[in-house]
Structure 1
Amino acid sequence: MFQRIFVPLDGSRRAEQAIGIAAHLAAAAHGSVLLFQAVDLQPERWPVFFRSQQVLEAATFTAVAQAQAYLEQQARDSALTGLPVEARARAGKAASTILREIEATQADLLVLACHGPNPWAVGSVTAQLIRHAPVPLLIWREDSPSLSQADMQTRRRWRLLAPLDGSLWARAALEPAVALMQALATQAEISVHLLRVVVPVPVQGEQEGARWLLQQRLRQAEESLSQAGKELERLWRRSAATVQPPALTWSVAVDPDVVHAIGQVAHPDEPFPGRDGTGTPDLLLLSAWGSNEADQRRLGSVAERLLQLVSLPILLVPTRALIQILHGAAQAPPQMGQ
């Protein structure tokens, strides 16, 4: 997995920072990197007397050529030395053009360094990508730690926080998480913490019944996390990885607000439970699924709020990517010992 890594650029220094991590992941997986820029001249904003077809075509040709030259310059970045790199500029609306090219080039990971006061605002390019991308996205926020090639090479430990809700969709997100961890594990130790949040359900006038119900839900949550841990270990073995498997821990939190509980673990006053007992999470895994278009636009209320509140880098697996993972799992023949 992650053999063809797609990096959309917009000419900003912040967006260019995604090149370092894309290079690191591509080198680990013996993959390639595609640098891409969508050129949108927004002719609808031009004065009416400039909107002739001839003027538009000439301006578009010039802008695409300039974008192509910029991308080819970025392709000579030292971080990409020795890697297969393609630079491609296309004319069109940014989000729709990027989504179209992801499919046309058969990319399997989108690395995005977002910027701006509110990159998740409805209608923004970032918001459209995270809602409609057919592949997982590795998102570095403006307030996330640096992701230069030097930072990637010198880091010796990565900790992944994976909140799960017990659904098949959430479990499916473990597959790209394993692919990411294996790429990171070539030079660093990996630990994974699985988290399940149980929301207490009040039972009116039945305190004893409420306690019994909570205990039942806690036992179910623990069993679900145990199964998820086994699934993660199975995926690691299936990939025939030569690197050490991650240190795996899990915990159950009781909180009426799922986002609050996850945030407490993502940005705790005390380190999250782990085998080494040091540090806070470095990466957050999120699956965002919906059974209809409205749900997909919302990304699910939990994922939506976490994107707004958590400053960690995020591996986000959107609905279309989850569907492809589950479809592939259904089509795959059973393997011995599984």
Structure 2
Amino acid sequence: MFERILVPLDGSPRSEQAVALAAHIARAHHSSIILLRSVEILSIYSMQTVGMMEHIQRLEEQGALNYLNHIKASSMLEHVPTTTQIYVGSPALAILDVVKQHNIDLVVLCSHGYTGLKRWALGSVAQRIARSCPVPVLIQRDEHPLPFNAQPTEQAIFRVCVPLDGSPQAEVVIEPALAIAAACAPPQHAEIQLLRIIEPLSPSNEENFREIYNLDLQELISQQTQTYLQDVVKRLQQTAAPPDGIEITGCLSTSADIAQEIIQYAEESDNNQSCQLLAMTTHGRDKLDRWISGSIAERILTQTRLPLLIVRPPLPNGINHAHQQDRSTV
């Protein structure tokens, strides 16, 4: 599924943690890798040095190339076809342009970068990439990295939490999540957990519905949601053909705080049931960037300690390109 993988680097050891993960996925899917280093000349030097810009740019580009060649020659990328790319400009624009130019299928980056802040994953760069990148983005965490090469044991279950909202757009993340699980999980030890959270009705609405229709509306919604999850699981088993050893399950939860419930469910550590990866789309049933632009996604991006797989599905019918992220703000 992932023929070409892009790994953006900022020159820091932390950002390089994405290389080993990308290489592992590349070996599993017989992929090639592009290492990307962007050089922001104008943000580094004042306008007083404008006469030296060409010379400075050559030095920066040569330094970036030497750095990428050093990473390329490392044992992490042994037997993985790897090329390098230097880009003069902002990191976000560099990533988006290279994705388009080279038909990239997956972007892998680490959550912490050169500044020591959560710039790549939780700052402006990754948020812009998550909103605009047309291919899946896998965000590795330096503090809680996505495991791979684990030995199969009874406890070593590679679990992926996939929050759904009932829309086809939200389901787009499932296929790449399966591919990541197939690459990273120990043999016969992976589970894709489809999570659907419904918000509780107000007592007054629930009581009014019961009096008028003699039905428990909350229970009816729960039953319909369970049926939806069962249908999705059955459809995936028939059409997606999950690799051997990968189980797909559905889970229903009720909470007024959707973001917190997603985080708590995915990170639950009791009985070794925590997930290793949280996978979600950037928009769902609202036909706008609900997940990534709203409070739900912002809280998940900033509060979860788990690695993230973020997928931006194709625009729904009726939504034109005016709703996409303006490249001038990238």
Residue pair 1:5, 1:34 contacting (<8 A) in 2 also: yes
For residues 173 and 224 of structure 1, the distance between their equivalents in structure 2, rounded to whole angstroms, comes to: 17
Residue 300 of structure 1: CA displacement?
3.5
Match status 1:323 vs 2:292: no
For residues 90 and 7 of structure 2, the distance between their equivalents in structure 1, rounded to whole angstroms, comes to: 16
Kindly provide the CA deviation profile for residues 11-42 of structure 1, in whole angstroms up to 9, marking residues without a partner as x.
Answer: 00010010111010000011111111011112
Residue 183 of structure 1: CA displacement?
2.1
Residues 202/79 of structure 1: CA separation in 2 closer, same or farther (3 Å cut): same
For residues 222 and 233 of structure 1, the distance between their equivalents in structure 2, rounded to whole angstroms, comes to: 17
Residue of structure 1 in register with 2:173 after alignment: 173
Match status 1:50 vs 2:49: yes
Residue 190 of structure 1: CA displacement?
0.9
Residue of structure 1 in register with 2:102 after alignment: 105
Secondary structure class of the residue paired with 1:159: strand
TM-score by length of structure 1 reads: 0.82
Kindly provide the CA deviation profile for residues 168-211 of structure 1, in whole angstroms up to 9, marking residues without a partner as x.
Answer: 11112112112222223474621121111110121527537367
Residue of structure 1 in register with 2:4 after alignment: 4
Consecutive unaligned residues in structure 2, runs of 5 or more: 318-330
Match status 1:163 vs 2:154: no
Residue 96 of structure 1: CA displacement?
0.6
Residue pair 1:36, 1:87 contacting (<8 A) in 2 also: yes
Residue pair 1:109, 1:138 contacting (<8 A) in 2 also: yes
Residue of structure 2 in register with 1:77 after alignment: 74
Match status 1:227 vs 2:231: yes
For residues 173 and 21 of structure 1, the distance between their equivalents in structure 2, rounded to whole angstroms, comes to: 19
RMSD (Å) for aligned C-alpha atoms: 2.8
Match status 1:154 vs 2:150: yes
Kindly provide the CA deviation profile for residues 109-164 of structure 1, in whole angstroms up to 9, marking residues without a partner as x.
Answer: 0001021434379862222222211110111123223x5xxx62234331111111
For residues 170 and 291 of structure 2, the distance between their equivalents in structure 1, rounded to whole angstroms, comes to: 18
Residues 235/42 of structure 1: CA separation in 2 closer, same or farther (3 Å cut): farther
Deviates more, 1:29-38 or 1:288-297: 288-297
Consecutive unaligned residues in structure 1, runs of 5 or more: 272-277, 327-338
Secondary structure class of the residue paired with 1:82: coil
For residues 291 and 40 of structure 2, the distance between their equivalents in structure 1, rounded to whole angstroms, comes to: 23
Residues 279/314 of structure 1: CA separation in 2 closer, same or farther (3 Å cut): same
Alignment of 1:286-301 (within 5 A): 286-289=280-283, 295=289, 298-301=292-295
Residue of structure 2 in register with 1:60 after alignment: 57
Aligned residues: 306
Query: Aligned letter for 2:58?
Result: F
Residues 72/187 of structure 1: CA separation in 2 closer, same or farther (3 Å cut): farther
Secondary structure class of the residue paired with 1:154: coil
For residues 258 and 288 of structure 2, the distance between their equivalents in structure 1, rounded to whole angstroms, comes to: 21
Residues 89/230 of structure 1: CA separation in 2 closer, same or farther (3 Å cut): same
Match status 1:309 vs 2:308: no
Residue of structure 2 in register with 1:87 after alignment: 84
Residue pair 1:155, 1:188 contacting (<8 A) in 2 also: no
Query: Aligned letter for 1:82?
Result: H
For residues 257 and 77 of structure 1, the distance between their equivalents in structure 2, rounded to whole angstroms, comes to: 45
Kindly provide the CA deviation profile for residues 265-299 of structure 1, in whole angstroms up to 9, marking residues without a partner as x.
Answer: 1122534xxxxxx4311111111127999847943
Residues 325/316 of structure 1: CA separation in 2 closer, same or farther (3 Å cut): farther
For residues 179 and 153 of structure 1, the distance between their equivalents in structure 2, rounded to whole angstroms, comes to: 15
Alignment of 1:25-44 (within 5 A): 25-42=25-42
Following TM superposition, the consecutive aligned residue runs of length 4 or more in structure 1 with deviations greater than 6 angstroms are 120-123, 290-294
Residue pair 1:192, 1:248 contacting (<8 A) in 2 also: yes
Match status 1:215 vs 2:183: no
Residue pair 1:288, 1:300 contacting (<8 A) in 2 also: no
Residues 262/85 of structure 1: CA separation in 2 closer, same or farther (3 Å cut): same
TM-score by length of structure 2 reads: 0.84
Residues 291/168 of structure 1: CA separation in 2 closer, same or farther (3 Å cut): closer
Secondary structure class of the residue paired with 1:74: helix
Kindly provide the CA deviation profile for residues 25-66 of structure 1, in whole angstroms up to 9, marking residues without a partner as x.
Answer: 0000111111110111125x64443123xx212211111111
Residue of structure 1 in register with 2:129 after alignment: 129
Residue of structure 1 in register with 2:328 after alignment: none
For residues 175 and 246 of structure 1, the distance between their equivalents in structure 2, rounded to whole angstroms, comes to: 12
